[in-house]
Structures are given as structure tokens and as C-alpha cells.
Structure 1
Amino acid sequence: MDFEYWWLLLLPLFFGLGWVAARIDISQLLTETSTLPASYFRGLNFLISEQPDKAIEAFTEALRADSNTLELHFALGSLFRRTGEMDRAIRLHQGLLEREDLAEPQQLMALAELAQDYLKAGLFDRAEEIFLKLTETRYANSALRALLEIYVREKEWLQAISVAQRLETLTGRPLRIEVAEFYCELAQQNMLLGQLSQARGNLNEALEANRNCVRANIMLGDIEAAAGAQSNALNAWRAVELQVPDYLELVAERMMASWRILGNTEEGLQWLHEAVRKYRLEETAHVLFEATLDLKGPEAAYRMAHEEAEQSPSLTALDRLLQAKVSGMPDGDLRLVMSAIREHLEKTAYHRCRTCGYTARQFHWHCPSCSEWETFPPRFERAISKTSLI
């Protein structure tokens, strides 16, 4: 294809048009900037230097000078909410919604901000009402997330499931862990009310949503055990090993209790021994030790504890070794040492959330700090202490 030389004549024209457009944009920007009150820029400086209280004062002064600046209203409302002044944030956004000159995009923005105010203030009914309206707008994503937060806080699990499924469709991000946990929470409510059939149904729904939902199998085992179906309970708990073996820590004691009821303690001891060998589970090893001590006596328990202490020296192994040693003996110095070690172990053991690092002595399915699900590992961590044990 021949090069059209006449295009070269147009290049200076294109450059000239670009220069003019840029000059117009800069001129417009300078014009708009010059109309803003000086207190607006002071407010920005305070925000940059992380002084929200002074920024609020500056923006409030700027609004007195020019009450028609929408950006200032929204910035000030966000600051009120950030500093916990919820009444002022609510009044400001309500005032914006009462303005007749507000275009539809600004009305939606003010409505979304007001809903966030209500949420932060704990006025969940009012927040829910607005967020439900916003689910049909460009704010659908944030509105659904806020609704999910509300329903979890209010323990409205059916609504939480519905909203989570809508969020999955909207964003493409899977929420199967959360949905399965919501079904487990529903089952927990059913169990408290004695509705075991409904509980089983919800737990099966949980496994349908997330086949690796350990909690569902643990709860199914609990239902079967309470109904006297110990073999069925053991089958449900055994399934945990196929999902996440670490969670056997939560069911080892339950399993041994069922084997006792069935009179199959040898099978139970063998199964627990194999689980400890394969997965190095501390709490399961303790259940195995206690059962061995009770069923086979101190000598067998001592041999087990001694072998463990040789292979993996730890305070936990030493505690079990001492417990086997002093079993059946009168109180003495060894018992004092064992008590000191046990107290130390109890004080230093904790579970840590993998998401936010929150620590707790008790295992949680739902982190009390960051509200994420299934972020607490069932294994204990232990704090390093520089103090003496006794």
C-alpha cells in the first residue's frame, strides 16, 4: 500500500488540537480550584497528616462558605462515620437526600452513604431496608456484602444463605465455605429445638455446598451418638479423616466414648494409635494415653508415654510420662511437678486465626475478630514463656 504523504500535513493539526484541549482542561481545573474555599485545602492537609478532627473542622468551615459543594458533603459524612459521630453523619446524608436539585447518581450515593451510617450505628433494620433497595442498582455488590454482614450478626441464616448465593452469581467468587457454615448454624438451631430431622437435612445441605465441611460431619456424628446409633456416629466422624485429618483433634474423645459404649475399646485404641502415628496429633495422643491408662493400666501407659518422650521430647510428653508414673501413688513431689507442668501447658495453649492472628483458648468456627469462617486450626499453638515452670 502506497504511503499517503498528505497525512503528514495533518500531523501538526492533531498536535495543535491536543495542545488546545489540554489548555482547556488545565484552565477549567484552575477555575474550579480557585472557587474552592481555602479551608477545603486545609482539610485535605489534615487528612493527609491523619488529623481527622481538624479535618472535620476545616471541611465544616468550607461548607459554610459554599454549601453547594457535594464532594465536601460526602467527604465530611465519611469523616463523621470514621470518627464515630454517627448522628452527625446520618443528619448530613439525610439532608442531602432532601435536596430537590440532586441528580439520580448523587441521590444513590447519598442513600448508600446513609445505609453505611445506619450499619455502623448498629441500626440494622434501617440499614437492611436501604441496602435491599440498593441491590438493584450499581451499588449491588457492596449492598449485598453489607446485607450478608447484617444477617450473620443477627443470626438470620436463611437470609444469609440467599444473599451469599446472589453474591456468588454477581461476583463469580465462590462462597461455599460460608454457605456450608450457615447451614451448620441452622442445624445447630434445629438441634437446640430437638428438630433432629431438620438438622440432618441442613447438614446434608452443608455437605452439598462444601464436601469438605468438617463441621457438618462432626455434627452428624453428634446427632447419631445422641440417638444411640454409635456405629453411625463413628462413620460420620471417620469421614473427617478424609476431609481434613487435623480436625480429628475435635472428635477423638467422642470416638473413644462411642467405642466404649459399643464394647470395642481395642478397635478404638488401635484406630487412635494409627491416627497419632500418621498425623502427629497432640490432643488425639492425649485421648489415646488416657484411654490406655484407664483400660490397660499405668505400666502400659508409661511405656507409651516413654516412647513418645524419646521420639518427640516436649512438656506435653513429660506431663503424660509423669501422670503414668504417679498413677495410683499418694501425693508427692512428682505430683507437684506434674501440676506445675500442666498449669503451664494450659496457660500457654491457644488457637490462632490464620486470617487476622486473633488468639483464643477456645476453638471457634467463626473468628470473633475478623468474622471469617474456618480460619482457626484445631491444633493448639503454644506461647514461648521465659518464666520458670514452678
Structure 2
Amino acid sequence: MAFDLQWILLGLPFAFALGWLASRLDLRQWKREQHESPKAYFKGLNLLLNEQQDKAIDAFIEAVQHDPDTTELHFALGNLFRRRGEYERAVRVHEHLLGRADLAQADRDRAQYALAQDFMKAGLFDRAEQAYQALDGSAFDTEARLALLTLHERSRAWRAAVEVAQKLERSGTGSFSNRIAHYWCELALEADAGQHAEDGDTALRHARLAAPHLARPLALTGQRAAKRGDHAAALSAWSELLVVQPMAFNLVARDYATSAIAAGQQAQALERLRELYGRAPTMDLLAAISMLDPAPEAQRGRLFRHLQEQPTLSAAQALLRQTTTESTPLTAPETQSVTDAVGRAAKPLQRYRCAACGFEAQHYFWQCPGCLSWDSYPPQRLEDL
């Protein structure tokens, strides 16, 4: 019995020493792992700043392996995968985060938003929509709705876009009235394509209510009326457009002239167009005026005066076409005006452009003043390329 007790007494210090040694080894291993993890993280960050994304990904993977519970490393790794176009790997990283039961709600919402971005970039729009909808009421609610709005526009889901835009407007994110009006105009066009005229009328009423001063609903109202032969209603809509958005009237000027001829209101329409042209001369208005006053001499005179005031290629081309039709040569002043218009239009093309940075110059440079590259200018001007 005494013999056994002696061995126990001798073994106690030995066991204590082994336990102490084991604890020291474990502590050293823990410290080494803690040291290696941030070291790998900072290594990855340094590589990322130096635009070495491949090596940065390897470093972040190493850091995640040393500390699999660190959420920030997972987010960094997932974002890197997405930036490189490796969407499947990014999805796996963010789904792994969402699968963790110990993840805080803020990090869970962040992972859900990142996952939605992965799906969006990968072109998986149905899954992206579901992922964004799951963020309703979260800290990423506004960002998710803005992304959903873009998604609905891409997929041309205009009714869904209207609903999301209205929610964003109610939440105080900003004004979406113009975009909502455009969505209703798209719905009106879809209704017309499907031979549902009443639905188109309803959609346009919603568009007018959403943005009373927007040009498109008025322009579209007139075009729809003219298409069904109601030229009086078309002229009424376009006359309102002329008051609300005078510059946008250029888009329907020719249609306005056509409907005025059909409704027998050439004189009133010509007076309005001349008044508008006097304030803001454009070739669209001039073409509409020529439709209402087609006398060749009057057209040629208007084109010449316009070319003197607005030396554009379109005006020069119209004048040349008019003289060809009449088989009469250009007068000296007309020739000078055409020459001035062509010279003005050609001037931006008579430049050299650096192939490295796009810097343009009137004179040729052997060294680019913009990016300092040598021999980066092709020896041809832009019009010769």
C-alpha cells in the first residue's frame, strides 16, 4: 500500500508538468492562429490595393480558413468574387453566411443584400427579385427597392415598376413622378399593341395625373388621337404641349402639320408654328412650316435664312436638295452659307486623337500632352480613320 502511495506522490508533479506544458502549447497555437489570421487579411488587403485580385482572393481564402467565423472576411471575399465575375462562388460565400445561426440580424440583412447583388450581376433576375423582396422593412429597404426598380425596367414589368416607385416616393426617397408617368405611357403602348384602347386611355390618364407637365403623355395622346382619325383631339393635345413644353413640340411638329391639314386648320397652325420658330428656330419646325406653306420659292428663302442663322449640315443638305429639285444653281450667298455650314461641321473631325487616352488636338503631337505617351497619335485625322 505504501509502495502505491509513493508512486502516486511521485506522479503528481509529473502530471502537473505535462498539463502545464500542454496548456502552454495550446496557448501558443492559439496566439499563432490569431497572429496568422490578421496577417493573411492585411496581406490580401495589400494585394487588393495593388490591383492583384487573384492573389488577394487566395490570401482572403487563407484568412477565412484560419478564422471561419469572421463575417467581414466572408463579405470581402464575396465582393471580390463578384467583381471578378465569379458569381457562383460569390453566391456560395453569401449563402454560407445566411446559413449561420449565430449571425446577427444586421449582418444577415447585409448578406441578403450582397446575395441579391450576386444574382443581379449574374443575370438571374427572378432570383434577384426574390432576394431583394426579402429585404422589405430592413436597413437595406431603400437600396433594395431602387434595385428592384432597375430590375423591373430591364424586364419591362411596368406595373411592378409603378408600385415600387410609388413606395419609394411615399417613403421620402425622392420624387419619382416623371418615371411613374413614363411607366404608364409604356403601359398605354402595350395596351394599344394588344388592341385594348380603353386600357390605354386609362394608363394615359394616370400618366397625366402623375406628371402634368411631362411632355410624353401629351405627345402620345395626340399621336393616338391622330391614328384613330380624330385630328381635332390630336391638335388639342399638341396645342397643350406647345404651351407646357415648347421645345418638346419639335418631336411632333410634322405630325401637327399633317393633322392641321386633315382638319382644315392650316392657317391657324401656320401662325403658331411661325411664332414658335421665331422664338426657337429648328429644322423640325421649318419642315412643318414647309408642309403648310409648300411654295418652292418660299421654302428656298426660309432655308437660306435659316442656314445664315443656324449653319448646320441639315440646313445645308435641305437647301442643296431644294436647288436640285428646282434645277437652279446656288447663288453666291447661298454657296457661301453652305460652305460655312460644312466647314463648321467638319472642324471637330479635323483633329488627331490619342489612341491611349483619347486626348484630341488640332495639331499632331509625337508625345501626347494628356497621358505623355509617345507615338500614340495615329497619323490620320478623325475624319480619315
- What TM-score do you get using the length of structure 1 for normalisation? 0.73
Could you say which residue in structure 2 is the equivalent of 1:327? 325
Could you say which residue in structure 2 is the equivalent of 1:183? 184
Give the superposition deviation at 1:46. Answer: 2.1
For residues 310 and 101 of structure 2, the distance between their equivalents in structure 1, rounded to whole angstroms, comes to 75
Could you say which residue in structure 1 is the equivalent of 2:266? 265
Could you say which residue in structure 2 is the equivalent of 1:131? 132
Deviations 1:217-245 (A, max 9, x none): 11100111112110110111122222221
Could you say which residue in structure 1 is the equivalent of 2:219? 218
Q: 1:44 to 1:290 in 2, by over 3 A?
A: same
Give the superposition deviation at 1:33. Answer: 8.0
Instruction: Report the count of equivalent residues.
Output: 313
Q: 1:258 to 1:97 in 2, by over 3 A?
A: same
Whether 1:241 aligns to 2:242 is yes
Q: 1:317 to 1:152 in 2, by over 3 A?
A: closer
Could you say which residue in structure 2 is the equivalent of 1:275? 276
Could you say which residue in structure 2 is the equivalent of 1:207? 208
Kindly provide the amino acid, as one letter, of the partner of residue 179 in structure 1.
I
CA contact (8 A) 2:74 2:93 kept: yes
Could you say which residue in structure 2 is the equivalent of 1:92? 93
Aligned partner of residue 171 in structure 1, secondary structure: coil
CA contact (8 A) 2:36 2:66 kept: no
CA contact (8 A) 2:283 2:315 kept: no
Could you say which residue in structure 2 is the equivalent of 1:5? none
- What TM-score do you get using the length of structure 2 for normalisation? 0.73
Aligned partner of residue 229 in structure 2, secondary structure: coil
Give the superposition deviation at 1:183. Answer: 0.8
For residues 140 and 308 of structure 2, the distance between their equivalents in structure 1, rounded to whole angstroms, comes to 61
For residues 87 and 269 of structure 2, the distance between their equivalents in structure 1, rounded to whole angstroms, comes to 58
Kindly provide the amino acid, as one letter, of the partner of residue 110 in structure 1.
A
Kindly provide the amino acid, as one letter, of the partner of residue 322 in structure 1.
L
**RMSD of the TM alignment (CA)?**
3.1
Deviations 1:251-281 (A, max 9, x none): 0011011112123333333322221111222
Q: Which of structure 1's runs of 4+ aligned residues deviate more than 6 A?
A: none
Deviations 1:139-169 (A, max 9, x none): 2111111211221111111111111111112
Kindly provide the amino acid, as one letter, of the partner of residue 308 in structure 1.
H
Could you say which residue in structure 2 is the equivalent of 1:80? 81
Compare CA radii of gyration and give the structure with the larger one: 2
Give the superposition deviation at 1:130. Answer: 2.2
Return the structure number with greater relative CO, CA threshold 8 A, min gap 6: 1
For residues 239 and 50 of structure 1, the distance between their equivalents in structure 2, rounded to whole angstroms, comes to 56
What runs of 5+ residues in structure 2 fail to find an aligned partner? 1-31, 349-380
Q: 1:76 to 1:272 in 2, by over 3 A?
A: same
Give the superposition deviation at 1:117. Answer: 1.0
Kindly provide the amino acid, as one letter, of the partner of residue 134 in structure 2.
K
Aligned partner of residue 134 in structure 1, secondary structure: coil
What runs of 5+ residues in structure 1 fail to find an aligned partner? 1-30, 349-384
Aligned partner of residue 115 in structure 1, secondary structure: helix
CA contact (8 A) 1:299 1:324 kept: no
Deviations 1:52-78 (A, max 9, x none): 333212211222222222110011001
CA contact (8 A) 1:37 1:65 kept: no
Could you say which residue in structure 2 is the equivalent of 1:307? 305
For residues 171 and 61 of structure 1, the distance between their equivalents in structure 2, rounded to whole angstroms, comes to 44
Give the superposition deviation at 1:308. Answer: 2.2
CA contact (8 A) 2:222 2:233 kept: yes
